[in-house]
């Protein structure tokens, strides 16, 4: 497959050269135990208190309704299991393509008047190695699109989030494990889609050496 929009070499930092510090500030709040300001436990609520309780109950019902509606807004696509796991030998990163949601409704500009295309959400999990800093990017994941390699459709982020999924953008290695979905639009779909994870060559910050490119392939089954 030919790659379109190929990204350039990245910068990696040696983890051992980084130092992090965190400061936690605590503050204490005084309490007023004045018995004069306490209302009897069995006293009837005042009108203002009653109105406040009614407003709180209404807010709770609204939240429950919104949550139920949010659950019903899942996309009309079909989820398929992938389960492809590979390890970047240079960085120690463990990459897993967990699943994919196929045939998603979309307003992506390339999908207009194209009955042969498909919007795919791929679910990825990354477990960064501890040798380098830097990030693992959504732009490193590709799907075959009519003989070309297509990567993330950045303008479809809102579609992912509106559907209730977590969008995968950048995963800083210092933050540890991260899971999310990447939208990729292919202009010509197929029963089975071939995919590639390709981390570009990286320069090590402060050192005169490079980390070679790493590439591994995976396959998304038919829905």
pLDDT of residue 63: 52
Q: Does domain 76-220 have CATH number 1.20.1300?
A: no
What does the mean pLDDT of the chain come to?
A: 80
Beta carbons of 187 and 116 less than 8 angstroms apart: yes
pLDDT digits (tens, 9 = 90+) for 104-155: 999 999 999 999 999 999 999 999 999 899 999 999 999 999 999 999 999 9
pTM summary value: 0.69
Q: Considering only CA atoms, which of 161, 211, 154, 216 is closest in space to residue 185?
A: 154
Least confident of 13-22, 34-43, 161-170: 13-22
pLDDT at residue 33 above 70? no
d(Cα 190, Cα 99) in Å, to the nearest integer? 17
Which of left, alpha, beta for 63 (phi over 0: left; psi -120 to 50: alpha)? alpha
């Amino acid at each position: 497959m030919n790659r379109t929009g190929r990204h350039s070499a990245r910068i990696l930092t040696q983890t051992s050269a980084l130092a992090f510090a965190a400061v936690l500030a605590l503050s204490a709040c005084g309490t007023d135990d004045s018995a004069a300001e306490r209302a009897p436990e069995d006293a009837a609520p005042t009108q203002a208190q009653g109105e406040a309780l009614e407003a709180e109950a209404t807010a709770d019902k609204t939240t429950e309704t919104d949550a139920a509606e949010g659950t019903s807004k899942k996309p009309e696509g079909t989820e398929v299991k992938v389960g492809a796991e590979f390890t970047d030998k240079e960085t120690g990163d463990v990459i897993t393509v967990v699943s994919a949601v196929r045939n998603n409704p979309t307003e992506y500009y390339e999908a207009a008047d194209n009955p042969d295309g498909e919007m795919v959400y791929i679910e990825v999990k990354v477990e960064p190695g501890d040798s380098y800093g830097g990030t693992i990017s959504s732009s490193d994941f590709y799907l075959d699109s009519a003989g070309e390699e297509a990567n993330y459709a950045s303008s479809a982020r809102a579609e992912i989030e509106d559907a209730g999924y977590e969008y995968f953008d950048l995963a800083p290695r210092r933050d540890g494990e991260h899971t999310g979905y990447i939208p990729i639009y292919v202009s010509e779909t197929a029963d089975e889609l071939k995919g590639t994870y390709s981390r570009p060559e990286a320069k090590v910050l402060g050192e005169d050496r490079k980390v070679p490119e790493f590439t591994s392939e995976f396959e998304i089954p038919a829905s």
